[in-house]
C-alpha cells in the first residue's frame, strides 16, 4: 500500500511540475510576442517624419484595430507598454524566461539600466513572485544596498559573479518592516516585536536578504550560573556563518553593543565549526547613533552591524536624499585622506 501511495505522489508531482512548466512556457512566449509587437511599432515609428505625433497616432490606430478582435489586452495603454518594453530591452536574448510579463511591466517603469539589471538578477536568483519584486522595488532595495557598497559590488553579488565577502554587501540599513503591521508608537516591548517577526518570518527573511535561514528564537546561553537569551539566530549560507539579531525598540546604547559582542564571542568560541566564518551580530534598533557605534566598537571590525528599522516604506525621494547624504559623507572621508599641497 505504501508503494502505491508513493507512485501516486510521484505522478501528482510530475503533473503539477508539468503544468507549472507549461504555464511558464506560455507566459514566456506571450512576453516574446509583446516584445516583437513593440519592435514592429518602433521600426514603423522610425519611418514617420514627425515621430512624436506619429507615435501617438500609431498606437491609437493599432489599438482601435486590434482591441475589438483580441480584447482589452491590446488597448492603447497596452500597446504603449509593448513599445516601451522593446525600448527598455532592445535585444531579445537579454530577456529571462523565468520572468513573467507582470514582472517585466514593473521593470520597464525603472529608468536606470543598472537598477533594472539588479532587480532582474535578484528575481531569478531568489525566485521572487510579482508581489515580492514589487515590494523590493518600492522599498528601494537597490538604493539601500548602495548606501554601504559600491555599484559594481552590488551588481556582481546580484548576478552571482562573486560571493559576498562582507556582511554589509547583503545586510541592509535601514530595514523596512512595514509588513509587521505595528503602529508608529514611541516604543514596543522587545518580546512583542520579536513575536511579530516570527509571525511574519517569510517576509522578514525576504527583507534580510539572500541566503538566510532561521535557526532559533530566545536561544539560552548559560555562563557559570548566569543565563542569557539571544533574541533571534539565523544562518547565512553565502557568508557561511551564524547571524545573531538582537532587537532594541528604544534608543541604542553602548551596553547593547557590548551585550551583542558577548553573544557573538560565545558563538565564535563554542558554536562555530572550524570551516565556518566568524559570527555576525546585527543590532536591530529603533534609533541608531552612528557615533556611539563607531566609538564603542574597535576600528575596522566587521562582525557587529547596527541597522535601524522603519515601520513604513519610504518614498523614493526620501531614499534618494538619504543615498545622496551617504555619498557626500563618503566623498568627504575620501578627500580627508588625500594630503593637501601644503602638507
Please, what are the domains in the chain? Answer: 22-100 (no CATH), 110-162 (no CATH), 166-314 (3.40.1350.10)
Q: Which of 20-24, 186-190, 222-226, 309-313 has the least mean pLDDT?
A: 186-190
In this prediction, residue 343 has a pLDDT band, given cuts at 50, 70 and 90, of very low
On the question of pLDDT at 184 being above 70, the answer is: no
Task: Name the more confident of 114 and 153.
Answer: 114
User: In terms of Cα–Cα distance, which of 284, 302, 335, 318 is closest to 147?
Assistant: 318
pLDDT of residue 186: 55
Q: Which of 38-42, 181-185, 296-300 has the highest mean pLDDT?
A: 38-42
Residue 29's pLDDT band (boundaries 50, 70, 90)? Answer: very high
Neighbours of 76 (CB within 10 A): 16
pLDDT above 50 for 190: yes
Mean pLDDT of the chain: 85
pLDDT band at 150; cut points 50, 70, 90: confident
Q: How far is CA 223 from the centre of its chain?
A: 37
What was the pLDDT predicted at 144? 83
Contact in structure between 174 and 310 (CB atoms under 8 Å): yes
Can you say whether the dihedral through the CA atoms of 93, 94, 99, 103 is positive or negative? negative
Dig out the grid coordinates for 90 from the structure.
Answer: 532592445
One-letter-per-residue 3-state SS of the chain:
CHHHHHHHHHHHHHHHHHHHHHHHHHHHHHHHHHHHHHHHHHHHHCCCCCHHHHHHHHHHHHHHHHHHHHCHHHCHHHHHHHHHHHHHCCCHHHCCCCCCHHHHHHHCCCCCHHHHHHHHHHHHHHCCCHHHHHHHHHCCHHHHHHCCCCHHHHHHHHCCCCCCCCHHHCCCCCEECHHHCCCCCCCCCHHHHHHHHHHCHHHHHHHHCCCEEEEEEEEEEEECCEEEEEEEEEEECCCCEEEEEEEEEEECCHHHHHHHHHHHHHHHHHHCCCCCCCCEEEEEEEECCHHHHHHHCCCCCCCEEEEEEECCCCCHHHHHHHHHHHHHHHHHHHHHHCCCCCC
Query: What are the pLDDT digits (tens) for 226-271?
Result: 999 999 999 999 899 999 999 988 888 889 899 999 999 999 999 9
Residue keyed to cell 501511495: 5
Q: In terms of pTM, does the model score above 0.85?
A: no
Over the stretch 123-135, which tens digit does the pLDDT of each residue have? 999 999 999 999 9
- Cα–Cα distance list, 152 to 158, 209, 210, 309 (Å): 10, 18, 17, 26
CA distance 7 to 35: 42
Amino acid at each position: 500500500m505504501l508503494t502505491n501511495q508513493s507512485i501516486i505522489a510521484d505522478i501528482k508531482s510530475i503533473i503539477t511540475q508539468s503544468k507549472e512548466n507549461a504555464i511558464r512556457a506560455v507566459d514566456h512566449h506571450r512576453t516574446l510576442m509583446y516584445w516583437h509587437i513593440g519592435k514592429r511599432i518602433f521600426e514603423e515609428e522610425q519611418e514617420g517624419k514627425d515621430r512624436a505625433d506619429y507615435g501617438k497616432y500609431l498606437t491609437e490606430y493599432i489599438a482601435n484595430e486590434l482591441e475589438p478582435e483580441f480584447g482589452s489586452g491590446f488597448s492603447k495603454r497596452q500597446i504603449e507598454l509593448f513599445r516601451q518594453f522593446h525600448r527598455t530591452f532592445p535585444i531579445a536574448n537579454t530577456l529571462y524566461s523565468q520572468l513573467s510579463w507582470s514582472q517585466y511591466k514593473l521593470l520597464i517603469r525603472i529608468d536606470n539600466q543598472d537598477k533594472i539589471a539588479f532587480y532582474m538578477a535578484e528575481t531569478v536568483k531568489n525566485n521572487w513572485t510579482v508581489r515580492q519584486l514589487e515590494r523590493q522595488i518600492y522599498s528601494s532595495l537597490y538604493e539601500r544596498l548602495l548606501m554601504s557598497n559600491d555599484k559594481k559590488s552590488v551588481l556582481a553579488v546580484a548576478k552571482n559573479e562573486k560571493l559576498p565577502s562582507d556582511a554589509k554587501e547583503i545586510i541592509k540599513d535601514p530595514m523596512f518592516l512595514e509588513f509587521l503591521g505595528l503602529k508608529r508608537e514611541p516604543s514596543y516591548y522587545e518580546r512583542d516585536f520579536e513575536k511579530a517577526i516570527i509571525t511574519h518570518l517569510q517576509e522578514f527573511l525576504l527583507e534580510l536578504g539572500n541566503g538566510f535561514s532561521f535557526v532559533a528564537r530566545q536561544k539560552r546561553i548559560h555562563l557559570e550560573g548566569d543565563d542569557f537569551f539571544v533574541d533571534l539566530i539565523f544562518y547565512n549560507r553565502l557568508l557561511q556563518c551564524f547571524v545573531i539579531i538582537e532587537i532594541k525598540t528604544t534608543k541604542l546604547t553602548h551596553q547593547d553593543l557590548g551585550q551583542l559582542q558577548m553573544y557573538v564571542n560565545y558563538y565564535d568560541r563554542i558554536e562555530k565549526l572550524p570551516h565556518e566564518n566568524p559570527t555576525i551580530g546585527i543590532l536591530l534598533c529603533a534609533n541608531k547613533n552612528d557615533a556611539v557605534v563607531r566609538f564603542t566598537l574597535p576600528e575596522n571590525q566587521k562582525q557587529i552591524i547596527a541597522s535601524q528599522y522603519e515601520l513604513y516604506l519610504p518614498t523614493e525621494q526620501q531614499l534618494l536624499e538619504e543615498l545622496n547624504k551617504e555619498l557626500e559623507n563618503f566623498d568627504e572621508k575620501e578627500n580627508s585622506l588625500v594630503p593637501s599641497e601644503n602638507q
